[in-house]
Structure 1
Amino acid sequence: MMSSKFRSGKKWLSVFSVLIMVIAFGAVNADAGKIKMKFSHQNNVFDADQLLAETFKKIIEAKSNGEIKVTIYPGTLTNSEEEAIEFIKSGTLDISANSGGHIAGFYEDIQFLQLPYLFKSPEHYNVARQSGVVKQILKEVGDATGLIALGIYSDCNGFGIASTKPINSIEDAKGIKLRCMQNPLFIDVYNAFGFTVTPTDWGELYTSLQTGLVNANDLGCYCQYIFKLKEVVNSFAVLQQMWTQKILMMAPKTWAKLSPEQQELVRTVAREAIELTDAWQYTKEREFVEVAKKEGLTVTYPDTAPFKKASEKVYAKWFKDHPKWKTWYNEIQYLDPGARMPDASK
């Protein structure tokens, strides 16, 4: 006959098992209603892309009351930005930050925003980013890629030129082998400045600078530090020659899972994260120019007038091939706060 002690132990074991099942089922059930997003970017955890991803994650999870969960994959989930775009299209990824230069393979007009000296200052860029021109470009990016374009923000390319010898003027560009993104517009710009554009894979840039295969790159000063390139360059010329961009993209399959309210929330949070990231990027760039000076790197401020003059043939070529860019250009220039005054003040 079974003892009362054994029956009691068996009873408690059954109760415990039921509780475990209830908890497990509840956890699965609670998770089943959540939307999980994979957010990928190609850079390391010190980059602006990571700040944007972390900001988006924190705010969207809080404002959705945990109904939207975001996991960030910095620099590891895909082998290239082109692959990331294909992953988003297939729904393997949910959100990705992609350079305008890489998106050009899907939508060439994105390169308009990367014309040299298109934006005259950070203030001009911030105003123009809200313009009808940029909104039209974002819509057309979405149409061309089949993705949801959530917004646009600054990349670290184009703030200046880091090199193994000082650049004090446009004449110093001659003979310098410069690595830039292998994008036709970028190549035209730097050839016009007098550099010798030398193809080098991003992953080989450090070694290429170290061995002299290339002598310069066009990343901002902050990026020289976070990618450790400052170990193999000794000079930084502040030119602000281009305001290159990244586009925050979402998979249509993910977008379709969201309610209208969640879609609006995603757009709002993306805008907030982008505004913070852009402001942070400018702040870090200014901060690390000063850090570079203190650490003994040569920081120069060449006269940009000759660089702007050299850019004219780039404009002529690309305006000829893309006539609507001229209209866009005029609209963007009108929005420069540094050049506008009330009529009565003129």
Structure 2
Amino acid sequence: MNAFKTLIAGAASTFVLAGSASAETYNMTLAHVLSDQSPYQVILNHFSELMEERSGGRITVEIQCCAQAGNETRAIQSIRTGILTGGFIGGSTLETVVPAYRVLSLPYLFDNKAQAYEILQSDMGREMMDLLGDYDMYGLGFGSSYERSVASRNPVRIETVDDLAGVKIRVLPTPGFVEAYNAFGTQPTPMAYGELFMALQNNVVDALEISPDALVADKFHETVNSYTLLTVHQSTTVFLLSKSFWDSLPDDLKEIVQTAATESIAVGIAAHDKLAADGIETARAAGVEIIEPDLAPFMEKAKTSWDIILKDQPEAQEYLARIQAALGR
């Protein structure tokens, strides 16, 4: 009888412990540097709604927009150490941590956004997400690709590749951007994004490379005169989490989180595509000249930077070969 009571007590104890584990709750703090009207925010808002709906209250989400958690470099550090749960980060910033990601900053790696999505949403893209595990992060998926072109103030006007010679242009502070614009013969000038509007107005720089949605969202269309659709970079974005947080989740919640992230990314891509198209039309209506040049000479010059960008980066070189093969080049 005593043995029977002991067995029942043990079973009850096991049931209570199991119930406690299943009832454990998790709070996610997700950060990004863009505005609360950006595609990043659209994605994270949708993700938050799905978490509330599908996790039964076991996961709550707090969103920090507008660089509340610091710039992307700081956010990556916070995610890797578990201070932040995760967020949306530009692939160009991640390349400073994950060497293989440098391939994604090659100019004209993809002909258009459709090609970028074809690769990044494929098994190869998932493989590149999995590389983040070696750096204390977990990748939920690639988000929107931002087609970056060149906006300029008078007297600079970019119609041919020779028009870029000597132009002082603000670029992202990564090898893929600096070396691409070196190849064009410009004076690439990395600077903080928050300083850029005044730098344009004071003629510190003549031009900037930027996506059409950001051109309008951040009011640069009010200070530039032309926007040349060079689409030099398909700038990638990544939805990532702290690996320590991901590893702490039970399998059922991992499935809910991953599925919700994939669905939310699709919503965000559609939102971004519309904002990009609307951005060009808004800029045009505001008097900005939209120039659509022959891209072949620009591609030819820009691609001379590839070997420099990927020098001493064997993993990135391997991905380049695989991407080229997948695109039938």
Query: Within the alignment, does 1:107 sit opposite 2:90 as a pair?
Result: no
Summarize the Cα distance change of 1:215–1:148 in structure 2 as closer, same or farther, 3 Å threshold: same
Give secondary structure in 1 for the equivalent of 2:227.
Answer: strand
Bigger Rg, which one: 1
Query: Within the alignment, does 1:146 sit opposite 2:136 as a pair?
Result: yes
Shift of 1:207: 0.6
Corresponding residue of 1:196: 187
The one-letter code of the counterpart of 1:83 is: R
Q: How far apart, in 2, do the equivalents of 1:177 and 1:304 lie?
A: 20
Deviating above 6 A after TM superposition, structure 1's stretches of 4 or more consecutive aligned residues are: none
The one-letter code of the counterpart of 1:303 is: D
Give secondary structure in 1 for the equivalent of 2:111.
Answer: coil
Q: Which structure 2 segments of 5+ residues have no match?
A: 1-19
Q: How far apart, in 1, do the equivalents of 2:88 and 2:113 lie?
A: 21
For the 8 Å contact 1:178–1:217, the answer to whether it is kept is: yes
Query: Within the alignment, does 1:163 sit opposite 2:152 as a pair?
Result: yes
For the 8 Å contact 2:121–2:142, the answer to whether it is kept is: no
The one-letter code of the counterpart of 2:254 is: Q
For the 8 Å contact 1:170–1:302, the answer to whether it is kept is: no
Question: What pairs up with 1:204-215 in 2 under 5 angstroms?
Answer: 204-215=195-206
Describe the superposition over 1:57-97 as per-residue Cα deviations: whole angstroms up to 9, x where unpaired.
11121111222111111024322211111212232211211
Q: How far apart, in 1, do the equivalents of 2:114 and 2:325 lie?
A: 13
The one-letter code of the counterpart of 1:252 is: K
Q: How far apart, in 2, do the equivalents of 1:89 and 1:325 lie?
A: 22
For the 8 Å contact 2:153–2:226, the answer to whether it is kept is: yes
Query: Within the alignment, does 1:226 sit opposite 2:213 as a pair?
Result: no
Corresponding residue of 1:17: none
Query: Within the alignment, does 1:68 sit opposite 2:50 as a pair?
Result: no
Corresponding residue of 1:328: 319
TM-score, normalised relative to structure 2? 0.86
Describe the superposition over 1:207-260 as per-residue Cα deviations: whole angstroms up to 9, x where unpaired.
101101011111111101111222221211111111111221112332233210
Summarize the Cα distance change of 1:327–1:92 in structure 2 as closer, same or farther, 3 Å threshold: closer
Match of 1:121 among 97, 112, 129: 112
Shift of 1:323: 4.3
Query: Within the alignment, does 1:80 sit opposite 2:71 as a pair?
Result: yes
Cα-Cα RMSD: 2.1
Summarize the Cα distance change of 1:326–1:88 in structure 2 as closer, same or farther, 3 Å threshold: closer
Q: How far apart, in 2, do the equivalents of 1:36 and 1:123 lie?
A: 35
Give secondary structure in 2 for the equivalent of 1:212.
Answer: coil
Q: How far apart, in 2, do the equivalents of 1:238 and 1:320 lie?
A: 28
Q: How far apart, in 1, do the equivalents of 2:254 and 2:62 lie?
A: 18
Summarize the Cα distance change of 1:327–1:95 in structure 2 as closer, same or farther, 3 Å threshold: closer
Q: How far apart, in 2, do the equivalents of 1:95 and 1:81 lie?
A: 11
Corresponding residue of 2:10: none
Shift of 1:321: 2.9
TM-score, normalised relative to structure 1? 0.82
Q: How far apart, in 2, do the equivalents of 1:264 and 1:226 lie?
A: 35
Corresponding residue of 2:13: none
